[in-house]
Structure 1
Amino acid sequence: MSSNEQKAQQLIAEAEKKLGPRGFFGSLFGGSSRVEDAIECYQRAANLYKMSKSWIQAGSAFCEAANLHLRSGARHDAATNYVDASNCYKKADVNEAVNCLLKAIEIYTDMGRFTMAAKHHQSIAEMYESDAIDLEKAVQHYEQAADYFRGEESNSSANKCLLKVAQYAAQLGNYEKAIDIYQEVATSALESSLLKYSAKEYLFRAALCHMCVDILNAQHALERYIQMYPAFQDSREYKLIKTLIEHLEEQNVDAFTDAVKEYDSISRLDQWYTTILLRIKKHLIENPDLR
Structure 2
Amino acid sequence: MLKVWTTPLKKKKLWLSWQRPKRKGSSKMEDACDMYGRAANMFKMAKNWSAAGNAFSQAALLHLQMQNKHDAATNFIDAGNAFKKADPQEAINCLNRAIEIYTDMGRFTIAAKHHITIAEIYETELVDIDKAIAHYEQAADYYKGEESISSANKCLLKVASYAAQLEQYPKAIEIYEQVGTHAMDSTLLKYSAKEYFFKAALCHFCVDMLNAKLALQKYEEMFPAFSDSRECKLVKKLLDAYEEQNVDAYTDSVKEYDTISRLDQWLTTMLLRIKKTMQEDDSDLR
TM-score of the two chains, using structure 1 as the length reference: 0.88
Inter-partner Cα distance in structure 2 for 1:85 and 1:284:
51
Which of 59, 77, 80 is residue 65 of structure 1 equivalent to?
59
Distance in 1 of aligned mates of 2:277 and 2:40: 54
Query: CA–CA distance in 2 between the matches of 1:227 and 1:129?
Result: 37
Q: 2:89 maps to which residue?
A: 95
1:120 and 2:114 equivalent? yes
SS in 2 for 1:233: helix
Distance 1:147 1:264 in 2: 35
Task: Please name the residue that 1:265 is paired with.
Answer: 259
2: distance between equivalents of 1:286 and 1:64?
59
Give unmatched runs, 5+ long, in structure 1. Answer: 1-27
Alignment partner of 2:50: what SS?
helix
1:1-291 maps to which residues of 2 (within 5 A)?
30-288=24-282
Partner of 2:24, secondary structure, is: coil
Which amino acid in structure 2 is aligned with residue 200 of structure 1? K
- The structure number with the bigger radius of gyration is 2
State the one-letter code of the partner of 1:216: L
Q: Tell me which moved more, 208-217 or 250-259.
A: 250-259
The worse-fitting range, judged by mean Cα deviation, of 61-70 and 280-289 is 280-289
Residue 58 of structure 1: how far off its partner (Å): 0.3
Instruction: Kindly state the Cα deviation for residue 38 of structure 1 after the two structures are TM-superposed.
Output: 0.4
Distance in 2 between the 1:29 and 1:152 partners?
40
Residue 287 of structure 1: how far off its partner (Å): 2.6
The 3-state SS of whatever aligns with 1:77 is helix
Instruction: Give the root-mean-square deviation of aligned CA atoms.
Output: 1.3
Instruction: Give CA-to-partner distance per residue, 1:175-196, whole Å, 9 cap, x none.
Output: 1100000000001111211111
Residue type of the alignment partner of 1:156: S
CA distance in 1, matches of 2:110, 2:281: 48
Read off the aligned partner of 2:111 and give its amino acid letter. Answer: A
Deviations 1:131-164 (A, max 9, x none): 2111111111000000000100011100000000
Q: Which moved more, 1:185-194 or 1:81-90?
A: 185-194
Q: Where does structure 1 differ by over 3 angstroms across 4 or more consecutive aligned residues? A: none
**What secondary structure does 1:92 align onto?**
coil
Distance in 1, Cα, partners of 2:106 & 2:132: 23
* Counterpart amino acid of residue 42 in structure 2: L
Q: After alignment, is 68-77 or 126-135 more displaced?
A: 126-135
**Distance in 2 between residues matched to 1:285 and 1:106, nearest whole Å:** 51
Name the CA distance, whole Å, in 1 between partners of 2:23 and 2:183: 59
Q: Number of matched residues?
A: 263
Offset at residue 286 of structure 1 (A):
1.6
Name whichever of 114-123 and 128-137 sits farther off: 128-137
1:234-261 CA-to-partner distances (Å, cap 9, x unmatched) read 1110010000011111111111111101
Structure 1 residues 26-63: Cα deviation after superposition (integer angstroms, max 9, x where no partner)? xx973310000001010100000000000000000000
**Alpha-carbon displacement from aligned partner over 1:51-85 (angstroms, at most 9, x marks no partner):** 00000000000000000101110011100000000
Q: Distance in 2 between matches of 1:277 and 1:135?
A: 21
